[in-house]
Amino acid sequence: MKTAYEKVQAARAKGRPSGIGFIKGIFTDFIELHGDRRFAEDSAIVGGIARLRDKPVTVIAMEKGSNTKEKVFRNFGSPNPEGYRKALRLMKQAEKFHRPVICFVDTSGAFCGIGAEERGQGQAIAENLVEMMGLRVPVIAILIGEGGSGGALALAVGDEVWMLENAFYSVISPEGCASILWKDAKRNKEAAECLKLTAADMKQMQVIEQIIQEDGLAFSEVFANLEEQLWNALEEKAHTDLDTLLAARYERFRKFGRLD
Amino acid sequence: MQLQGFFKKPKNELEKGGRTPAGATAEVHAEPSEICPACKKAVSPGELWDNNLVCSCGHHFRMNARQRIDFIVDSGSFFEMDADLRGQDVIEFPGYDKKLKHARLASGEKEAVVCGTASIGGGACALFVMEPSFMMGSMGTVVGEKITRLFEYATARSLPVVGYTVSGGARMQEGILSLMQMAKTSGAVRRHSDAGNLYITVLTDPTTGGVTASFAMEGDIILAEPGALIGFAGPRVIEQTIRKKLPEGFQRAEFLVQRGFVDRIVPRADQKKMLARLLMLHERG
């Protein structure tokens, strides 16, 4: 068993498949679509139309890049507001054409900078949360690496949320938490334990529906399993009435911290 | 936060019942004058009190939830809801129990938001007001639950919601469950909105993080207090990331109006009238 911090390291490890890797590994016929139609294109989020077997779907993935040049181009996977707005545009497009939406989440967090604030980072995330809550197509979100707070949640409001075995999901990075608690970012290992951020923790708190097995498998096998699981889940949701689906989505998030 | 001491509400009997009548008078302690951070002049607590904690230079000091409710709602019209919900150490986070106890003592509140129904200039509404002296209004499960319940209540009765925000963001000590409150409250806002109801937010200093990135920015109409810091990332975090000093006025309410993210800045003295007018204009017949 890995410790919480070992999971954090695995989620951030070099060579781990990134968002585009998941798209290529699971879907066929992917056509990338760019831009938010408001301000700019944001390469930290990749999205478009693809097929899951024979079925058209909309796929959206955060992309960190795999070498230095690419990482800079992808802004290290930290989206700006236009990235979230592009994702929302593609989700609305999916709604129009009755395509399910599949999101792959992997970010250390929404980008933190002058431009991001000027263009309403908070507003962009808030709008995604509200819109995804009411999106009239099935939505499945999969946490594949880092699930960094609000910047991750902005693509993770779905009917189901899945998580890879070595991904983590947290309200704050272990380093951020350690600097607040102990004024020492180097105590990130302890902070990782305190935050309860592993896939097993998420399953236990019902934040996710299932853990996607990684250990002992090649990523090609992980992709094949995911393809099968996505197909089955979407088949089931295709037969669910949309109002029922939306009511269940509301309840899915409503239950966290319900006090009686 | 330095002025917090004067603003504590009185310990009256009604408080125990979870209801505070509007118009309850708070004690003003005879404390030495404070220096206004904007004009650097000394201001007396009594003077500030009379002026709703606004300095003669226009600087708006932070305000406790009960005080805001007193000055914003029609006298005697506030009925508190879910007053007894209190935070729990859901993920057994180190030091959180103690922190909660301290926050309760410091604020006199059980949690970082006060919710209820009220009328403002005759307009009925559901009202939430966040509490800065309770862990800087951070959002954990109870804050999320109280706001969600308020929206559900308002949706069922076709009531508008007025919300005053002040928050450092999601509450780290409740881990991922705090983050989930952003989605949960957004779902409740969505349902309230889909039913054609009005939601007005008033952003006050500071409104940041997960609260900005959820219900604070989801109002049909978004008002702000002059000079309020409003953003997703806090200014210190941004400065550390970009290794530069931020320009003067960055992330202040005036900046957000200029960038198109806030409808209007409304000084405290005009807020009641403005809210009443907006509620009246949206009366549902």
ipTM of the complex: 0.97
pLDDT, tens digit, for every residue of A114-150? 999 999 999 999 999 999 999 999 999 999 999 999 9
Is the confidence at residue B249, as pLDDT, over 80? yes
Q: Which residue has the tokens 């005080």?
A: B67
Residues in chain B with CB shorter than 8 Å from the CB of A196 are 91, 175-176
Q: Which long-range contacts (CB under 8 A, 24 or more apart) does A212-217 make?
A: A212/A142, A212/A162, A212/A163, A212/A164, A212/A165, A213/A165, A214/A164, A214/A165, A214/A166, A215/A165, A215/A166
Residue B52 belongs to a domain: no
Q: What mean pLDDT comes out for the span A217-245?
A: 97
pLDDT, tens digit, for every residue of A57-88? 999 999 999 999 999 999 999 999 999 999 99
Distance CA A43, CA A48 (A): 13
Residues in chain A with CB shorter than 8 Å from the CB of B245 are none
Contact B85, B145 (CB under 8 A): yes
Is the confidence at residue B86, as pLDDT, over 90? no
Domain limits of chain A? Answer: 4-248
Interchain pair A171, B232: CB under 8 A: no
Q: Backbone phi, then psi, for A103, in 5-degree steps?
A: -115, 135
As a whole number of angstroms, the longest Cα–Cα distance in chain B is 55
The per-residue pLDDT for B27 is: 43
Interchain pair A195, B175: CB under 8 A: yes
Query: For the domain that residue B253 is a member of, what is the CATH number?
Result: 3.90.226.10
Q: Backbone phi, then psi, for B123, in 5-degree steps?
A: -90, 125
**Cβ pairs A/B, distance under 8 A:** 166
**Which residues touch A71 (CB under 8 Å, ≥6 apart)?**
A64, A65, A77
Interchain pair B176, A205: CB under 8 A: yes
Contact B214, B236 (CB under 8 A): no
Residues in chain B with CB shorter than 8 Å from the CB of A133 are 183, 186-187, 190
Closest Cα in chain A, distance from residue B213 (Å): 4
Count of CB atoms within 10 A of residue A103's CB? Answer: 29
Residue B116 belongs to a domain: yes
The per-residue pLDDT for A202 is: 98
Residue B250 belongs to a domain: yes
Contact A149, A171 (CB under 8 A): yes
Tokens coding B172: 């780290």
Residue B21 belongs to a domain: no
The per-residue pLDDT for B34 is: 83
Residues in chain A with CB shorter than 8 Å from the CB of B170 are 149-150, 171-172
Residue B67 belongs to a domain: yes
The per-residue pLDDT for B19 is: 42
Position A176, amino acid = G
pTM of the predicted model over 0.95:
no
The per-residue pLDDT for A260 is: 66
pLDDT, tens digit, for every residue of B210-244? 999 999 999 999 999 999 999 999 998 899 888 99
Domain hosting residue B208, numbered range: 62-281
Residue B209 belongs to a domain: yes
Interchain pair A205, B177: CB under 8 A: yes
| A213 confidence band (pLDDT: 50, 70, 90) | very high
Q: Which residue in B153, B215, B211, B132 sits closest to B178, CA to CA?
A: B211
pLDDT above 90 covers a percentage of chain A that reads 96
- Smallest Cβ distance to B94: which of A113, A122, A194? A194
Interchain pair A123, B217: CB under 8 A: yes
CATH of domain A4-248: 3.90.226.10
The packing angle between helices A19-26 and A219-238, to 10°, is 70
Query: In the predicted model, what is the mean pLDDT of chain B?
Result: 90
Q: What total of structural domains would you count in chain B?
A: 1
Closest Cα in chain A, distance from residue B187 (Å): 6
Closest Cα in chain B, distance from residue A188 (Å): 14
The per-residue pLDDT for B32 is: 63
Residue B54 belongs to a domain: no
